[in-house]
Structure 1
């Protein structure tokens, strides 16, 4: 009986362990890496037209406010082109005023125009006077011709009544008078029509030019780079004055500071099948030792529909992108004001639980699926 007691003791211990292992559960989780990101996403500021960096007013890590000037590009080329277009606009506007006066037959008047347009004004005034003089001489000549034809017609009419001229001669004199009168009216109309045609041409050029000026003004304005939103400068591609910045190139990244911070995850493709939205997570931040500061809880809210391909340049493996909402207040030992976008984290996503007994027998269960099979 004394010899059997150790056997009973071992059997009892084993039985107790099996009962405990059958009832006690441990969490199953998937591990992923992640980093803090603002819910509103990092704002990438691009350069519209390119240029040479003339002034830089920020550094990485600086806080900026919306509308703050952060850099300036040289605007010499853009401003020169803008001045050229402004000069073309002024010339067309003065030219249109001259053509309008010719079309309406009113005196030419340049009022409320800038003093620097004086050269353009004098040139158009001289052109107007020359055109008026040329037009008046042509009209006077035609008017004299009409007057002469009228006298000939009147004379021929008297002669016809006295029997000294035929009706045919009278008709010829009448036709000559009518033709010369029409030529006079046509000449007057031609000058007005030419002026109206010039106005239509100028209006078309003005319409096109104003679009070009608006575009150039926009380019000149964008040589002054401003912050589109308040935040922290997380990356600055150019920090040397005189650097050449290409059009459309990312210049600076700004992470918003007044928005909720969430966690962006990189999930191994082999683990994504066991994940569901709403699963709880625990994360430990690389900047805060978990042995001292503990962990923070949250919830998985998004898994990307497709895998992000591997990147050979950075030696980064393929992964599924995930996003988690984090309850930063769940750990009072971590000061939320110290959190910054880009901080890395190790994340455990709880996928379920299993008993200790099932965990111990997992290798046997896995092996049973391939037993008695041969390749």
Structure 2
């Protein structure tokens, strides 16, 4: 269809006019700018949404199970008692004091126990000096006493030395009598041996004379009576010689018996000393046991702290008062390098808990945002639920911390944590992304929507 001439003529001046072209461009740009800005804004929003989804899908946060509880002593409350009882001589602590293990808390009057201890020591010293004396008597060695006894118990040493000298003198006298007898017997033996020698010579001469006389009698030179006389003399001399030899045998037997009696006397002396020595050693062993018991009683008059901790209670506070035997006197709450937290967990949160998991402990007495938390670990989970004061059922768990203090605001400052403080525990059961947390409600709604009521 052809344009009308009038229309062409009307448009032609506007197109051909170069002066109106910039105005036309500006008007076109003004009409397109709002549309571009909107598109850029939508693109930025979409990109931010995509970034948020990616960030939520990749960023993990700790998944925790929370519970509440309180700090309890890591060990049971320690009770200090007096085994024997007695009068309270000195009380050195009061309730609330912090004590160290082995520190003296109180002293019991030890007059009776100290006297028993000193008596035992004296008896042992007396036995030791007697044992030294008896050892010398039994072995025949020189008498000597330990330097400690000579320095600390000179009266015991002097008494035993005097007794030793007296007994040695008695033994010496008895042996001297026997030795005198021995000497006399030896003298008699010597005389008898000389007599035997003389008799032997005489017997030989008489026999020789008899032989000559017998020949003369046979020849008729000498009368037979002379031969008879010589034979009689030979018989007498031989009899005397035989008696002398028998006498010397008796003297030798007597000498041997004398020497045996000397040996028996010394042996009996030493045997008696050894018997007494054995008895004293047995007595000393028994006395040592009594000494240990006496020392233990004296030592127990000082009541010491079995562990480091805080004095919880003192039953008797008046010095001079009577402490009954084996009754509770002082209670100590142990203070150790770690803490134990007893907490409660709802049954719905117990499924993924097991011993060894990491735990964060927040002490409500200290602002968590300022002082932080304590690292800990889960130690025990109760076998069954217990009924709480609010009639709700809980699982009891125990958590142990790595230290017993929080760091203060200044360097090196330690904020103490004591039994009884309330604590909140957060048990780390795993990690989940933020997207999992955001989608969890939707997942629950979906699962419920797809099930029939």
Unmatched 5+ stretches in structure 1:
1-19, 311-316
Deviation, structure 1 residue 136: 3.1
The corresponding residue for 1:17 is none
Tell me whether 1:202 sits opposite 2:202 in the alignment.
no
Whole-angstrom CA distance in 2 between matches of 1:299 and 1:240 = 40
Aligned pair in 2 of structure 1 residues 106, 332: CA closer, same or farther (>3 Å)?
Answer: closer
1:76 matched to which residue of 2? 111
Matched, 1:297 2:369: no
Aligned 8 A contact 2:359 2:425 in 1:
no
1:203-230: CA deviation from partner (whole Å, max 9, x where unpaired): 454455445434533442332234567x
Secondary structure of the residue aligned to 1:301 is strand
CA shift, 1:175, in A, is 1.8
Match of 1:56 among 83, 91, 98: 91
Q: Matched residue of 2:373: which SS?
A: strand
- What is residue 314 of structure 1 aligned with on the other side? none
1:243–1:31 CA distance, 2 compared to 1 (3 A): farther
SS at match of 1:275: coil
In the superposition, relative to structure 1, how do residues 309 and 362 fare at CA in structure 2: closer, same or farther (>3 Å)? closer
Q: CA deviation at 1:30?
A: 3.6
Alpha-carbon separation, structure 2, partners of 1:278 and 1:44: 30
Secondary structure at the counterpart of residue 274 of structure 1: coil
1:148-198 alpha-carbon deviations (Å, 9 max, x no partner)? 432343344334332424244432321221121121133123323433443
- Is the deviation greater in 321-330 or in 65-74? 321-330
Residue 55 (structure 1) shift: 1.8
The answer for the alignment partner of 2:400 in structure 1 is 323
CA separation of 1:307 and 1:218: change in aligned 2, threshold 3 A: farther
Residue in structure 2 matching 1:281, options 360, 376, 386: 360
Paired residues for 1:132-281 under 5 Å: 132-161=168-197, 162=199, 163=238, 164-166=240-242, 167-207=245-285, 209-210=287-288, 212-227=290-305, 232-241=309-318, 242-244=321-323, 246=325, 251-253=330-332, 255-256=334-335, 260-267=337-344, 270=347, 273-276=351-354, 277-281=356-360
Secondary structure at the residue paired with 1:264?
Answer: strand
1:88 shift after superposition: 0.9
CA RMSD of aligned residues (A): 4.9
Q: Is structure 2 residue 389 aligned with structure 1 residue 355?
A: no
Cα displacement string for residues 267-299 of structure 1 (whole angstroms, at most 9, x for unaligned residues):
5595655224343435242x4588xx7884344
8 Å CA contact retained: 2:378, 2:399: yes
Q: Per-residue deviation at 1:116?
A: 7.2
Q: For the Cα contact (< 8 Å) 1:75–1:223, is it kept in 2? A: yes
Please tell me whether Structure 1 or Structure 2 has the larger radius of gyration of its CA atoms: 2
Matched residue count: 336
Q: 2:80·2:305 contact (CA, 8 Å) conserved in 1? A: no
> What SS does the corresponding residue of 1:304 show, helix, strand or coil?
strand
Q: Which has the higher helix share?
A: 2
Deviations 1:23-63 (A, max 9, x none): 8999552414131657xx68947457442333211112123
2:357 and 2:175 map into 1 onto residues whose CA distance is 91
TM-score when normalising by structure 1 = 0.66
Q: Which runs of 5+ in 2 are unaligned?
A: 1-52, 200-237, 387-393
1:269 touches 1:320 (CA, 8 Å); kept in 2?
Answer: no
